[in-house]
Amino acid sequence: MKDSLVLQSRVSAHPDSRCWFLAWNPTGTLLASCGGDRKIRIWGTEGDNWICKSVLSEGHQRTVRKVAWSPCGNYLASASFDATTCIWKKNQDDFECVTTLEGHENEVKSVAWAPSGNLLATCSRDKSVWVWEVDEEDEYECVSVLNSHTQDVKHVVWHPTQELLASASYDDTVKLYQEEGDDWVCCATLEGHESTVWSLAFDPSGQRLASCSDDRTVRIWRQYLPGNEQGVACSGSDPSWKCICTLSGFHTRTIYDVAWCQLTGALATACGDDAIRVFEEDPGSDPQQPTFSLTAHLHQAHSQDVNCVAWNPKEPGLLASCSDDGEVAFWEYHQTAGL
Amino acid sequence: MAGVRGPGESRASAMAVEQDMFDAVVMADERFHGEGYQEGYEEGSSLGIVEGRQYGTLHGAKIGSEIGCYRGFALAWKCLLHSSTGEKDSRKMKVVEALIALLQHFPYGDPTYERLHEDLDRIRGKFRQLLQSSRTKMLRWQDLGSEMWACHACHILPWI
């Protein structure tokens, strides 16, 4: 396990503040970071170094909590504690705020683009999840306000291929939503975590969902369609989700983020104990009851809580992380020989 | 002579009477405790019913007032959009009609309806969606002087 996660570079992205989230653009050439200083920074490489290519300020009045790139890579959405979501349009190295989405009653905690690029989801401390539709003229319309959670909603993420939305909440559950007729409805609730669920990540195929929680575990859930071979009960035509694996005993504090590499299938976690961990599925493990092993554990990856981990979508093994210490770190993950 | 007893029997029954007498004294504490509990329970139950009825009336009125506001808002927008023909306006009309349908299907007279809170949340969500999309409309109606009215509709709702 030694030397399997190596530091490549460290930058002070949001000095004297927290860096809350990171997002790689679809081509993996740019990294967006956002923080408590209300700014968004775009990072790119110049030779061997990571440098700040743009600073997006004046967009928000309070902390920017999450950022997300559109699937085409031309737009960036930012979710802020000022209750708004900004949509930025990229014009070479410049970004211009083209729309501000209002409607949430208080802090917006997360934003995510659907793979089609036509839909956007936001969630907030006001317990609701909103689905927005974008039209050809870059106009955004709210198509649904979902009040299924009973507490603060922390994170939303879209399925990689289907129009299926997942949300994680302070109410200890994960909920899934899909369109039914003219409206969006909650089609499944995943219960099992014993505390706040902070983040979610789908695996490359979209058949499994990883969730991480304040209860210090990562849970892997699998989708079972009606009429499945394994005999998992489904109600009507809705698929059912079952927890097929729980990773416990590895983390000593709250797990704030989980990232599933779309290229290698490796799972990275960001923890409140300042460490980054990587897990890999054991080869040959039963798909209905998989086992994962810890393949990297980097103590003191940062000097404070690690808030986010993000795998580069094009370069296998390149991982970015950020922390309450305001720094962004870039790591190279190597699978140790003989695994 | 009724109840003629043999000598053995009368001694047993005399003993039984003696025992009952002591019983009354020894068990007095427990008996009063039991009676006190029973009285308290009955009084508590009737006070509870009164309190419950008051709470239910208050809470029910709150929900009724909230829904009434949504209904007024939706019906007003239905009138405003009635003569509009644009594509955006017809989408808004769909939302208005969806909200009106949800309000009409809500079982106002049944407090034991199992999906009461779920349906209320759906109504609130649909209203928020309409509020969000009609904001554009409100701005456009500004010059016609209905902005005062449109904004007022929002101010009278304390939960926004």
Query: In A, what residues contact B, Cβ < 8 A?
Result: 102-103, 105, 128, 141-148, 182-183
Name all domains of chain A by residue range, CATH numbers in brackets: 5-333 (2.130.10.10)
Q: Does pLDDT of B126 surpass 80?
A: yes
- Cβ-contact A297, A1 below 8 angstroms: yes
Q: Which residue of B has its CA nearest to A105?
A: B160
- Is B128's CB within 8 Å of A182's CB? no
Which chain B residues contact residue A146 at CB under 8 A? 125
pLDDT of residue A316: 95
Chain B hits for A145, CB-CB cut-off 8 Å, are 124-126, 128-129, 132
DSSP symbols for A122-174: EEETTS-EEEEEE-TTS-EEEEEEE---SS-EEEEEE-SSSSEEEEEETTS-E
- Please provide the DSSP assignment of A218-265 as one string: EEEEEEE-TT-TT-----TTS-EEEEEEEE-SS-SS-EEEEEE-TTT-
**B28-80 pLDDT tens trace:** 899 999 999 999 999 999 999 999 999 999 988 888 888 998 999 999 999 98
Q: Which residues does chain A have within 8 Å of residue B133's beta carbon, measured at their own beta carbons?
A: 141-142
CA-based nearest residue to A197, from A123, A298, A303, A274: A123
- A34 in helix, strand or coil? strand
- Under the banding of pLDDT at 50, 70 and 90, the label for residue B7 is low
Evaluate whether A319 touches A303 at the Cβ level (below 8 Å): no
pLDDT, tens digit, 9 for 90 and up, residues B21-36: 788 888 889 999 999 9
pLDDT-based confidence at residue B12 (cuts at 50, 70, 90): confident
Predicted TM-score (pTM) of this structure: 0.85
Query: What is the model's pLDDT at position B19?
Result: 66
Q: Which residue has the tokens 């900004």?
A: A86
**Residue B91 pLDDT level (bands cut at 50, 70, 90):** confident
Q: What is the mean pLDDT of residues A187-197?
A: 96
User: Distance (Å) from the C-alpha of residue A183 to the closest C-alpha of chain B?
Assistant: 10
pLDDT tens-digit series, residues A193-247: 999 999 999 999 999 999 999 999 999 999 998 888 888 888 788 888 999 999 9
Residue A103: list chain B partners with CB under 8 A: 128, 131-132
The answer to whether the Cβ–Cβ distance between B129 and A143 falls below 8 Å is yes
Q: Name chain A contacts of B105, Cβ cutoff 8 Å.
A: none
Would the CB atoms of A145 and B91 count as touching at under 8 Å? no
